[in-house]
Amino acid sequence: MPRRTDTNDTSSPSPTEEQVATYDRLVPMLEAAHREMTELSKKKQDGVVNTFKIKTLNRLLGELSKVIEKDPSHAFVDMLDEETLPQNSDAVLILSQWRAALKQYKDRHYRYDPAESVTRWFTVENPDKRYRS
């Protein structure tokens, strides 16, 4: 089989079907949280995020972390610090980094499959059959 040389070829291993399901289930929640924190930050940029929100967001980020843990972008995302209680604007920055990392991850693994004439996730269980992994 030919070796893959297109721009989607990266050092990021293909996700599993379970990781894809987690991604698809949790990214909309991250988007909603980012919108809420952005609105809160507009009203009170230097306001402190309360402990409940940080724990809730970190639970979400912890699950998403498992999805991208082997992806190069994982090194550039952080959890919210429960001890220092970040400001609203800091939380927005961290959530924005997560959104960007997750978008890059999806861009690497979710694309058009000419063999099936659909756009889909390329997973461990359902790889791109044109190339070797």
Residue ranges covered by each domain of the chain: 17-121
Question: What is the spatial distance between Cα 67 and Cα 115, in angstroms, rounded to a whole number?
Answer: 26
Predicted confidence band of residue 116 (pLDDT cuts 50, 70, 90)? very high
Average pLDDT, stretch 100-125?
Answer: 96
Task: Kindly state the DSSP code that residue 124 receives in the 8-state scheme.
Answer: S
SS3 119: strand
pTM (two decimals) = 0.88
- Give the pLDDT score at 15: 98
Instruction: Compute the distance between CA of residue 133 and CA of residue 129 in angstroms, rounded to an integer.
Output: 9
The pLDDT assigned to 45 comes to 86
Determine the average pLDDT of the residues in 19-30. 98
The whole-number pLDDT of residue 132 equals: 53
DSSP designation for 77: -
Q: What angle do CA 41, 45, 51 make, to 5 degrees?
A: 75
Q: Which residues contact 113 (CB under 8 A, 6 or more apart)?
A: 119, 120, 122, 128
pLDDT value of position 98: 98
In the predicted model, what is the mean pLDDT of the chain?
91
Other CB atoms within 10 Å distance of the CB of residue 15: 25
Sign of CA dihedral 47, 53, 55, 60: negative
Angle, helices 51-68 vs 88-109, to 10°: value is 20
